[in-house]
Amino acid sequence: MYLPLEKGTVWYQPKFLSDEESALLWQELETCIPWKQEPIVLFGKEIMQPRLTCWAGLPEAKIRYSGIVMNPEPFTPILNNLRLRLNEVLQINFNGALLNYYRNGKDSMGWHADNEAYQGKNPTISSISLGAARRFDLKSKTDTGEKPISILLEHGSLLVMAGATQEHYKHQVPNTKTDLGARINITFRRILY
């Protein structure tokens, strides 16, 4: 399913992973990933990220994210198999993945665009969701009166943002007071050197 955008391309595929694949991946990520909660600088203030994160990738895929230099953890076997599958499906050589662990509805990701220089112009970001379904919002960077597009990211789903999406849109996973279970999100990326 393609989202109705004037610029950029975003498509969503529920059940990209089978229930069995999703369960195995969840188990591996929850138990084998060295999750961290690190401080970030936001509007000149240092705050703790409202979620746990881990940067995984090939050895050379080092990044700087919100003032943090992140050296990649090695891909786990199942995570690497998923990366290779997405490389084949999307014809992109993903070499890194930002993993986010949302422990409950209070954990979130605010409005942002994934437009870091190390990803090049018009990057393709491939996002796998596991666990509790969470709302994903997308809105234009320039049209402040435009209502955001919202979609529910379900267990085992794939969301792909490509083309000029990061140039023209911002996205978020907002917090909620609703009592939600945990969610793990994997955003595969191609890091340029």
Read off the pLDDT of residues 136-189 as tens digits, 9 standing for 90 and up.
Answer: 999 999 977 778 999 999 999 999 999 999 999 999 999 999 989 999 999 999
In the numeric block, the tokens 């994903």 are attached to 136
* Mean pLDDT within 104-126: 93
* All domains in the chain, ordered by first residue: 9-189 (2.60.120.590)
* Mean pLDDT within 55-64: 91
Q: What gap in Å lies between CA 82 and CA 128, rounded to an integer? A: 10
Which DSSP state fits 2?
B
How many residues would you count in the chain? 193
Q: What gap in Å lies between CA 79 and CA 56, rounded to an integer? A: 9
pLDDT at 67 over 70: no
Measure CA 78 to chain center.
17
- Closest by CA to 190, choosing from 67, 78, 46, 90, is 90
Which residue type, as a one-letter code, is found at position 4? P
Check if the beta carbon of residue 163 is closer than 8 Å to that of residue 8.
yes
Q: Which two tokens stand for residue 75?
A: 């891909």
Specify the pLDDT at position 19: 96
How does residue 22 score in pLDDT terms, banded at 50, 70 and 90?
very high
Check if the beta carbon of residue 61 is closer than 8 Å to that of residue 52.
no
Give the DSSP H/E element, type plus range, for residue 32. helix 19-32
- DSSP helix/strand/coil, 55: strand
Specify the pLDDT at position 83: 97
How does residue 47 score in pLDDT terms, banded at 50, 70 and 90?
confident
In the numeric block, the tokens 């919100």 are attached to 66
Half-sphere exposure (Cβ direction) of 58: Cα atoms closer than 13 Å: 13
Give the DSSP H/E element, type plus range, for residue 150. strand 149-153
Find residue 97's DSSP bridge partners. Answer: 56, 188
pTM reported for the whole predicted model: 0.92
